[in-house]
Amino acid sequence: MTEPARHRVESFNLDHRAVAAPYVRLADRKHLASGGVVSKYDVRFTQPNIAHLDSAAVHSVEHLFAELSRGHSDRVIDFSPMGCRTGFYLALDGEPSDDEVFALIEATLTELLEADAVPAANEVQCGWAAHHDLEGAKAAVRPFLAAREAWGSVMA
């Protein structure tokens, strides 16, 4: 079998068959011309090509994490879903330690489980306001949080 072509997108070069979700891994770190640094994390909830998250649940996790995480850290730049719906990308300012990243994710997702509404889930603030599922978001987060001790182990 020939090796797949190398790509400019880091995650396209990751052997998705070799990982063991759930996990959190540093996927990329960019040193910007302005002098800043952006660290991008792969926050993988489900095993690639085996399971995926429900679309409405993904949308709600994204809204909740984006809003709640900023109450736990000034480093948060962005939190966005992966197109494959197996997890999310978390972009942070600087070069935080794994402990800091894991603590941010844990605190945010723990707070998410207490939410009684999805923030900005209305037609004024969201492009698909009807496409949310708070209970689905909580159901997606629970097993990820339960596996907290394994987040640092990426490969099977």
Cβ atoms of 69 and 104 closer than 8 Å: yes
So what's the pLDDT on residue 83? 94
Cβ atoms of 88 and 43 closer than 8 Å: yes
Give the C-alpha separation, 32 to 30, whole Å.
Answer: 6
The number of beta carbons lying within 10 Å of the beta carbon of residue 16 is 15
Q: Structure tokens of 155? A: 């490969």
Domains of the chain by residue range = 20-147
Query: Over the stretch 59-101, which tens digit does the pLDDT of each residue have?
Result: 999 999 999 999 999 999 999 999 999 999 999 999 999 999 9
Strand order across the beta sheet in which 87-93 lies: 23-31, 37-44, 87-93, 76-81
Q: What stretches in the chain show pLDDT beneath 50?
A: none
Helix (H, G, I), strand (E, B) or coil at 79: strand
So what's the pLDDT on residue 1? 66
| Domain 20-147 homologous superfamily, CATH | S-ribosylhomocysteinase (LuxS) (3.30.1360.80)
DSSP 80-149: EE-TTSSEEEEEEES---HHHHHHHHHHHHHHHTT-SS-TT-STTT-TTTT---HHHHHHHHHHHHHTGG
